[in-house]
Chains A and B, each alone.
Chain A
Amino acid sequence: MTTHLTTELAGPPPAPGIFDELSKREIRRAVLSGIAIPGYQVPFGSREMPVARGWGSGGLQVTLSLVSEKSRLKVIDQGEDAGVNAANLRRLVVNHVGCEEETDTREADIIQSRHRIPEQPLRDGQVLVLQVPGAEPLAGIVKEMDEQRRMHAEADYAKMWVRLYEDVVHNGLVTAAAGYPVLVEGRYIMTPSPIPRWDVPKLNGSQAITILSAGREKRIFAVPPHTHVVPLTFEDRPFEVEHTPGAACRLCGSADTYIVQEPARDGQFSTWACSDTDFCRRRRAGDAPATVPHVQPTALQAAQPSEPAPPALVQPAAQPARRDQEETA
Chain B
Amino acid sequence: MSTAATAPPTTSAPPTWALRTEGLGRIYGDPGPASLVGTGPDFGTEISPATGAVVAAWDVGFEVAPGEALGIIGESGSGKSTVMRCIAGDEQATAGTIALRGVGDGTVNIRDLSPTARRKLRLQQISAVYQDPAAGLNLDVTAGGNIADPLTAIGWRNYGSIRQRAAELLQRVEVPVGRMDDAVRTFSGGMRQRVQIAKALANDPPVLLLDEPTTGLDASVAAGVLDLLRHLLEETGIAAVVVSHDFGVIDLLTRRVLVMQHGRVVESGLTDQLLEDPQHPYSQQLVAAARG
A residues sitting closer than 8 Å to B (CB atoms) are 153-154, 156-159, 161-162, 165-166, 168-170, 234-237
Contacts and interface: CB of A to CB of B under 8 A. Distances in A.
Contact of A236 (B144, B146, B160): B160
A162 B149 contact: yes
Interface string B148-179: 11101100011110100000000000000000
Interface residues of B, number: 19
Contacts of A236: 158-160
A-B pairs, top 4 by smallest CB distance, nearest first, are A161-B152, A158-B153, A234-B159, A235-B158
Contacts of B152: 157-158, 161-162, 165
Contacts of B150: 158
Contacts of B158: 234-236
B153 A169 contact: no
A157 B154 CA distance: 10
A161 B255 CA distance: 40
Interface string B106-135: 000000000010010000000000000000
B181 interface: yes
A92 to B, nearest CB: 44
Contact of A165 (B116, B119, B153, B162): B162
Nearest to A235: B158
B148 A168 contact: no
B144 A169 contact: yes
Interface string B82-120: 000000000000000000000000000000000010010
A166 B119 contact: no
B154 to A, nearest CB: 9
A165 B153 CA distance: 13
B175 to A, nearest CB: 16
B159 A166 contact: no
B106 to A, nearest CB: 25
5 contacts: A153-B116, A154-B116, A162-B148, A234-B158, A235-B158
B79 interface: no
B48 interface: no
Secondary structure type dominating chain B contacts: helix
A152 B146 CA distance: 20
B74 to A, nearest CB: 33
A161 B159 contact: no
B119 A154 contact: yes
A172 to B, nearest CB: 11
A159 B138 CA distance: 10
Nearest to B180: A169
B145 A166 contact: yes
Contact of B148 (A156, A161, A237): A161
A237 B141 contact: no
A237 B158 CA distance: 8
Contacts of B119: 154, 156
Given A158-B149, A162-B149, A235-B159, 11 more contacts: A153-B116, A161-B153, A162-B152, A165-B145, A166-B141, A166-B142, A169-B144, A169-B145, A169-B181, A235-B158, A236-B160
Contacts of A153: 116
Contact of B159 (A154, A168, A170): A168
A165 B160 contact: no
Nearest to B138: A162
Nearest to A165: B148
B9 to A, nearest CB: 29
Contact of B145 (A162, A235, A237): A162
Contact of A169 (B116, B142, B160): B142
Nearest to A170: B181
A154 B181 CA distance: 29
A134 to B, nearest CB: 21
A159 B140 CA distance: 13
A3 to B, nearest CB: 46
A236 to B, nearest CB: 5
Contacts of B138: 162
A244 B86 CA distance: 56
B153 A237 contact: no
A169 B147 CA distance: 13
Contacts of A157: 152
Contacts of B116: 153-154
Contacts of B148: 161-162, 165
Contacts of A235: 157-159
B149 A159 contact: yes
A237 B149 contact: no
Nearest to B153: A158
B6 to A, nearest CB: 34
A157 B181 CA distance: 21
Contacts of A169: 142, 144-145, 181
A28 B177 CA distance: 54
A158 B119 CA distance: 13
A168 B162 CA distance: 12
A162 B159 CA distance: 11
Contacts of A237: 159
Contact of A234 (B144, B149, B157): B157
A169 B148 CA distance: 12
